[in-house]
Amino acid sequence: MESKGQSLNANPVNAFLEEWLHDMERQISVSTFKSYSAICKRFTAHLEKKCSDSISKITINDIRGYRDNIANQFSSGTVNNHLTMLRMAFDSALQQDILDKNPAKLVKNLARKDKQERRPFTPDELKALLAVAPPDWTTAILIGLYTGLRLGDVIALQWEQVDLSEKTFTLVTQKTGRTVINPIATPLLRHLIKLEPGRSKTGAICAGLRIKDTKNLSNVFNALLAEAGLVEKKNYRTYKANGKRRQYAGLSFHSLRHTTTSMLKNSGATSAVAGDVVGHDSEAMQRNYTKIDVETKRKALDKLPDLLG
């Protein structure tokens, strides 16, 4: 019978991570898979020749060295995401009895000193943004504003997931796998009814944005914010060339999610209703409230301001 030591020697880091990625591909979204692939590639490049050694030879110092190396290039939040993925991969090796301990779990996350809090848009800012937005972006912004969906889910939304007669939409969120059945706010419903006759053959509501990945779309959205005079335009090529971490503004597409929550609460909705509409998926939030029925959410959404009126 093969000893554990022999088994360890049969698992070079690069081959193990490649196999782990292959297994994960069926369990995660396309965007997450791309992110994990990039992290694995960067990690093995950092290891240099050691990437072909047994995974059992990876030490705490290897993980810590990788963390400190990328800390000069990325925000602390991104660095911590890298560590989270490495912990998952090494946990898999642990569960397969390939490792005795997970070295990535012994490396601390970076403190979030560089974190910038996103804030909601004001009504005037939203009007300025919509004034410069092309048609597909106008639709994406309105969907984000009146649903609280993340950018990836907005772009992936298909006409078949929208029931205009019942005034609802249904989807499974990419990040959390949460099934969402929510009413469509009246301003958004009017907008979708106008768009429906000219719907794309692809079935995508924001068809013109489907060809780009979410990261690039975030950069395009930032350019729209700059055009509207809401943020300073960022030169991402300069950031990359100089090896500097990208600094995030207080406004982003994700800010629409905060705006949805704020508008709901300002219109009288409870935290439970607002949380269910936008999909706060943490265990703490789930413990604090039960699932809200569609009609209750519809009443709350119908009180939201009409920015198209």
pLDDT in tens, 153-196: 999 999 999 999 999 999 988 877 888 899 999 999 999 999 99
Whether residue 93 is contained in a domain is answered as yes
Do 23 and 166 have their domain in common? no
Q: If you count DSSP H runs as helices and E runs as strands, how many of each does the chain have, helices first?
A: 15, 3
Most confident of 58-67, 208-217, 238-247, 268-277: 58-67
pLDDT at residue 37, rounded to an integer: 94
Do 195 and 101 have their domain in common? no
Whether residue 117 is contained in a domain is answered as no
R_g (Cα) of the chain, nearest Å: 22
Q: What's the one-letter identity of residue 51?
A: C
CATH number at residue 225: 1.10.443.10
Strand partners, 12: 54
Where among 77, 106, 135 does a domain terminate?
106
Of residues 219 and 8, more confidence is placed in 219
Do 91 and 128 have their domain in common? no
- Tokens 């642990």 found at: 94
Do 284 and 167 have their domain in common? yes
Do 266 and 138 have their domain in common? yes
Whether residue 9 is contained in a domain is answered as yes
Do 47 and 139 have their domain in common? no
Residue 94 vs residues 5, 23, 64, 102: alpha-carbon distances, Å:
14, 15, 19, 7
Of residues 212 and 72, more confidence is placed in 72
pLDDT at residue 75, rounded to an integer: 82
| pLDDT at 250 exceeding the cut of 90 | no
Domain total in the chain: 2
Do 183 and 246 have their domain in common? yes
Where among 73, 106, 139 does a domain terminate?
106
Do 92 and 234 have their domain in common? no
Where among 106, 141, 161 does a domain terminate?
106
The range of the structural domain enclosing residue 238 comes to 123-301
Do 140 and 82 have their domain in common? no
Supply the mean pLDDT for the chain.
85
Whether residue 193 is contained in a domain is answered as yes
For 2-16, 42-56, 70-84, 249-263, which range has the lowest pLDDT when averaged over its residues?
2-16
Whether residue 211 is contained in a domain is answered as yes
Whole-prediction pTM: 0.63
Residues of the chain above pLDDT 90, percent = 63
Strand partners, 169: 162, 182
Query: Contact 214/252 with Cβ under 8 angstroms?
Result: no
pLDDT digits (tens, 9 = 90+) for 18-28: 999 999 988 88
CATH number at residue 100: 1.10.150.130
| pLDDT at 288 exceeding the cut of 70 | no
- List, in sequence order, the alpha helices (H) in 148-289: 151-156, 186-195, 214-227, 236-241, 254-266, 271-278, 283-288
Q: Give the whole-angstrom CA distance, residue 306 versus residue 123.
A: 10
Whether residue 118 is contained in a domain is answered as no
Query: Contact 303/186 with Cβ under 8 angstroms?
Result: no
- DSSP secondary structure string for all residues of 90-142: HHHHHHTTS-SS-GGGGSPPPP-TT-----PPPHHHHHHHHHH--HHHHHHHH
Whether residue 26 is contained in a domain is answered as yes
For 245, list phi and psi in degrees, rounded to 5.
-70, 145
Do 140 and 282 have their domain in common? yes
Whether residue 12 is contained in a domain is answered as yes
Q: Give the whole-angstrom CA distance, residue 7 versus residue 125.
A: 59
Class of residue 180 by CB neighbours under 10 A (exposed 0-12, middle 13-18, buried 19+) = buried
Do 245 and 128 have their domain in common? yes
pLDDT at residue 22, rounded to an integer: 94
Do 286 and 238 have their domain in common? yes
